[in-house]
Amino acid sequence: MSDSVNEQPLAGQLALVTGASRGIGAATARALAAAGAHVILTARDAKALEAVEAEIHGAGGQATIAPLDLAEPDGIARLATAIANRWNALDILVINAAILPTLTATSQIEPQAFTRAITVNVLATQALLAAFDPLLRRSDKARVIGLTSAVARQPRAFWGAYGSTKAAFEVLLDCYGLEVEKISRIRVAILDPGATRTQMRARAYPGEDPNTVKMPEVVANRLVALLGEDFPTGHRERLTGNR
């Protein structure tokens, strides 16, 4: 195998990353591009997306931005149509975007904030799977990776709103994986990044020293490495430690 193939194992592949404007999403987009993929970056903040795109292009990678609010009706369907008009298949779908509602007692969850979290964390996940399923099926080796949280499986006081949406998120991904594994080459995995230095983490743990938790690049590098492995649908892993 040539050095160029080793250096860019994802060359020729198309990847879509949600929540790609900062944190784990931005780091993942950069890592995917460094591995040779053409990365479609989506998030609400167009200026932040442009900055990530510029970094990727500056490093010699390929990226296209697609500003999108996942809560916007029909936005995901329009994005899928636009991508299908330009590319034949989608090889990698990384579902990273999520909303963390205010941490509060279950009896005091604010309905409007909870509804938006359900919309982005759950309903948008189903919409992404539905809209991109045809493009994923056209890939020779499609991979879907969802970023989750430990509170999806280990309930924690005051985390009811976020934890319940991530639990539903995991069920949707698991069910989709089981439905397509025998009739397509799509494989689905769930990755729990563990404690990571992100804005969401800072909001949840305002007194924490950010230097005590891992950088988003650690998660991104593991995600790209996972794409090179022959993992089965249903694969789950949690990153621990800071490296």
The 3-state secondary structure of 152-221, one letter per residue: HCCCCCCCHHHHHHHHHHHHHHHHHHHHHCCCCCCEEEEEECCCECCHHHHHHCCCCCHHHCECHHHHHH
Strands 62-65, 235-238: parallel, antiparallel or unpaired by DSSP?
A: unpaired
Instruction: Name the residue with tokens 């250096």.
Output: 7
d(CA 107, CA 27): 36
d(CA 8, CA 10): 5
> Of 114, 132, 162, 176, which is the active-site residue?
162
Q: Which two tokens stand for residue 153?
A: 């499986």
Tell me whether residue 162 is one of the annotated catalytic residues: yes
Catalytic residue set: 162
